[in-house]
C-alpha cells in the first residue's frame, strides 16, 4: 500500500496533561478535523468515544475516507499544546494543556491478517459521561490482542456487529503501525518531520489563544486567526507542511 495515496485512515485524539481543559481542547481539535474533512468532501465516522461531563473528550477514535486523506492528515500526528484561560479559571490565569494525536493508515486485508486464536473479545454495556449507561444491552466491544497485549474498544453504535467491525479496524491499524515502526527502527530511518507515527512525546504545534497565534514547531512558522483555523480552515498549514517536507 502506498500510504501517500491511502484513502482510509484512523485518527485517535487523546487528552493529555491539563485535566478537563485538555479534554475540552481535544474536543476542539476533533471539531477542527471533522470540519476540515467536510470541506474536503471526505466521509468520517466515530469508532470510539469517551466524553466528559463538561462536554470535553478524553479520547475519540474516528475513521476518515477520502482522496489523499493520509497525505494531508499525516502531519497532525504528535503532541498539540494549547495555551489559554480555561472557562473554569477564576483568576484569569493562562493554563498550558496538551493533547496527543495519532494518524494511522488502514491496512489492506493482505497486509494485516489476524489469527482468531490471538484475539480475546469482551462485551459490555456502553456508557456515557459520568459512567451512566446509555445502552441496556451489551453492545460495546473490547478486543485484546494477546501476543502484543494491545487493547482497543468501540461502543458508539447500538449494534454489536458494527462495534466489532470498528474495534477490529482500530486494532488492525494499530498493529500495522506497530510493525512499520519496528521495521523503521531496525533500518534506523530518520525523518525530518513526524509523519503520522503517533510519536506522542514530540510537541508539534502550539495554539496560543491570548495571542491569537498557532505555531508549528517543525517548520518554525506561525499563523494568526485561531478561530478561523479551528473552524476547519486547516489547508494553509497543511500546504506549507507538504511543501517543506
3-17, 49-63, 159-173: least confidently modelled range: 3-17
Domains (range + CATH), the chain: 3-105+190-244 (3.30.70.1660), 116-186 (3.30.160.20)
Count Cβ atoms within 10 A of the Cβ of residue 159 and give its class: 0-12 exposed, 13-18 middle, 19 or more buried.
exposed
Helix (H), strand (E) counts: the chain: 5, 11
Mean pLDDT, range 69-91, rounded to an integer: 87
Phi first, then psi, for residue 16 (nearest 5°) are -110, -130
Provide the whole-model pTM: 0.73
Mean pLDDT across the chain, nearest whole number? 82
Q: Poorest-confidence range of 40-49, 79-88, 102-111, 148-157?
A: 102-111
SS3 state at 139: coil
Query: Half-sphere exposure (CA, 13 Å, Cβ side) for 60?
Result: 24
- Burial class of 118 by CB neighbour count within 10 A (0 to 12, 13 to 18, 19+): exposed
Place of cell 534506523: 188
For residues 202 and 78, the answer to whether their CB atoms sit within 8 Å is yes
> What band does 162 get if pLDDT is binned at 50, 70 and 90?
confident
- pLDDT computed for residue 179 by the predictor: 80
Nearest 5 degrees, angle CA 176-CA 181-CA 184?
A: 125
Q: What pLDDT, on the 0 to 100 scale, is given for residue 109?
A: 64
Q: Are the C-beta atoms of 241 and 219 separated by less than 8 Å?
A: yes
How many whole angstroms separate alpha carbon 152 and alpha carbon 116?
15
Amino acid at each position: 500500500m502506498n500510504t501517500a495515496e491511502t484513502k482510509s485512515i484512523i485518527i485517535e485524539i487523546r487528552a493529555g496533561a491539563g485535566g478537563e481543559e485538555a479534554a475540552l481542547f481535544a474536543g476542539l481539535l476533533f471539531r477542527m478535523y471533522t470540519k476540515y474533512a467536510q470541506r474536503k468532501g471526505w466521509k468520517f465516522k466515530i469508532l470510539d468515544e469517551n466524553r466528559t461531563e463538561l462536554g470535553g473528550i478524553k479520547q475519540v477514535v474516528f475513521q476518515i475516507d477520502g482522496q489523499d486523506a493520509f497525505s494531508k492528515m499525516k502531519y497532525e500526528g504528535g503532541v498539540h499544546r494549547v495555551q489559554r484561560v480555561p472557562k473554569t479559571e477564576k483568576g484569569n490565569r493562562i493554563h498550558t494543556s496538551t493533547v496527543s494525536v495519532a494518524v494511522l493508515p488502514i491496512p489492506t486485508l493482505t497486509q494485516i491478517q489476524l489469527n482468531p486464536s490471538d484475539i480475546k473479545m469482551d462485551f459490555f454495556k456502553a456508557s456515557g459521561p459520568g459512567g451512566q449507561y446509555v445502552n441496556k444491552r451489551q453492545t460495546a466491544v473490547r478486543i485484546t490482542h494477546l501476543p502484543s497485549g494491545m487493547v482497543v474498544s468501540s461502543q458508539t453504535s447500538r449494534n454489536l456487529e458494527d462495534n466489532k467491525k470498528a474495534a477490529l479496524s482500530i486494532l488492525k491499524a494499530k498493529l500495522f503501525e506497530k510493525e512499520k515502526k519496528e521495521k523503521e527502527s531496525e533500518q534506523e530511518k530518520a525523518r525530518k518531520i513526524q509523519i503520522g507515527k503517533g510519536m506522542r512525546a514530540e510537541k508539534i504545534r502550539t495554539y496560543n489563544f491570548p495571542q491569537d497565534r498557532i505555531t508549528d514547531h517543525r517548520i518554525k512558522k506561525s499563523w494568526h486567526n485561531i478561530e478561523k483555523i479551528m473552524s476547519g480552515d486547516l489547508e494553509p498549514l497543511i500546504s506549507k507542511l507538504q511543501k517543506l517536507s
